[in-house]
Amino acid sequence: MPAHGLLPCKPNATNNKYYLKPASSQAMQLCKFSRDTTRRCRVTSMGAMAAATAVLTRETKDEKEQEEGWTEYLSPDKLEVLEHLEPWAANHVLPLLKPAEVAWQPSDMLPDPAALGDDGFHSACRELRARAAGVPDAHLVCLVGNMITEEALPTYQSVPNRFEAVRDLTGADDTSWARWIRGWSAEENRHGDVLSRYMYLSGRVDMLQVDRTVHRLIASGMAMNAARSPYHGFIYVAFQERATAVSHGNTARHVGAHGDDVLARICGAIMADEKRHEAAYTRIVGKLFEVVPNDAVRALGYMMRHRITMPAALMTDGRDDDLYKHYSAAAQQTGVYTASDYRAILEHLIRQWRVEELAVGLSGEGRRARDYVCGLPQKIRRMEEKAHDRAAQARKKPTSVPFSWIFDRPVSVILP
Ligand SMILES: [Fe+2]
Ligand SMILES: [Fe+2]
């Protein structure tokens, strides 16, 4: 699931009086939430990404009411829908998992000391290091950021286990939903593992700094809007899985172009997993759109108004107060994950869920949510164009940012 993206600066799931300040400090910071009708994120954000989402910041009376209305999704009639879909999930979601015997494993991708022997292993490691040496630092930082995000898996497994009606109540439930959550987590577990081992062997990364960043990120957790609603939650994860697939896919392309074809294969294998996960979550939400379109589109409207906040936004290495901002700027600049990707994902999901075609069974609120969501990509596109002009000017004066993950080597990034 994990990926980059947009900074969280909307109300917390349970307390809409506050919003999260972007990762400009070492810990989650809660800031007073202005009730101005034209409020904007008052904090520094990431150039194009922030600009693309600034359009989401206008708040009307209707939106405020919606903001507070997500808890109605915890009512028995809404949750019953998920309970009734449990047999459907067995046939349409669980088959998207790959069992351990079939799935690739980190050990498939890495030199095996037991099989190669001392000389063979050292020789394979030398080759690995020679290939990895060609990956530019800016791409390496993105790769490490992706890896750290993946490594905070304990946080992500707890996400669907907060969704009412689908969570794994005993830890070993036999429902389709619970089996999916565990199987999905098991697949995700390989992503951080393989990248971490590869990075360790490459010798290009300060693993102690990376390990500490992972430790802190898991300890910090992540904040999510409407955290207990399966409707909102599945929408969030569907978006995230696609964002992650985009990010790993772009990384695969870049590192391959710089000569590390093994690392490219690893990132490509991760991307393929993310795409399967995306297919599963998109299918679940698609079913909700089919069965209860009004509830589904209102949940989508809510999530997009509040933005898809990113799981690793609270990362810190204990040195750089703006680590996430710098990492995100590197992702934007290298093209690993950009504001355009955010818009493209939204456009894709609108098509997948045929949101524009929704009409029957929609309430006034449902129609407003549909219209808002369908108009959003165009608004984001206009903001992208403005941000692009600003970025063109800023490109004249990039900032050199040292990353502790790569022994404080500086990476040139364009900051907003
Ligand atoms: Fe995933
Ligand atoms: Fe993943």
Domains of the chain by residue range: 18-413
Backbone angles phi, psi at 16, to 5 degrees: -85, 15
Alpha-helix residue ranges (DSSP H) falling in 9-95: 47-54, 61-68, 76-84, 86-92
Q: Annotated binding residues for Fe cation, as ranges?
A: 150, 188, 191, 241, 274, 277
pLDDT of residue 397: 79
CATH number 1.10.10.60 given to 18-413 = no
Ligand nearest to the CA of 273: 1
3-state secondary structure of 338: coil
Per-residue pLDDT tens digits for 303-339: 999 999 889 999 999 999 999 999 999 999 999 999 8
**CA 220 / ligand 2 centre spacing (Å):** 19
pLDDT of residue 55: 47
Ligand nearest to the CA of 191: 2
pTM for the whole structure: 0.85
**CA 339 / ligand 1 centre spacing (Å):** 20
Q: Annotated binding residues, as ranges?
A: 150, 188, 191, 241, 274, 277
Ligand nearest to the CA of 275: 1
Residues annotated catalytic, as ranges: 104, 150, 188, 191, 241, 244, 273-274, 277
**CA 346 / ligand 1 centre spacing (Å):** 17
Cα separation, 343 vs 376, in Å, equals 8
**CA 245 / ligand 1 centre spacing (Å):** 8
Half-sphere exposure of residue 157: CA atoms within 13 angstroms, side-chain side: 19
Per-residue pLDDT tens digits for 136-195: 999 999 999 999 999 999 999 999 999 999 999 999 999 999 999 999 999 999 999 999
Calculate the CA dihedral of residues 173, 178, 179, 182 and round it to 10 degrees. -110
Half-sphere exposure of residue 180: CA atoms within 13 angstroms, side-chain side: 27
- By the CB criterion, residues less than 5 angstroms from ion ligand 2 are 150, 188, 191
**CA 92 / ligand 1 centre spacing (Å):** 17
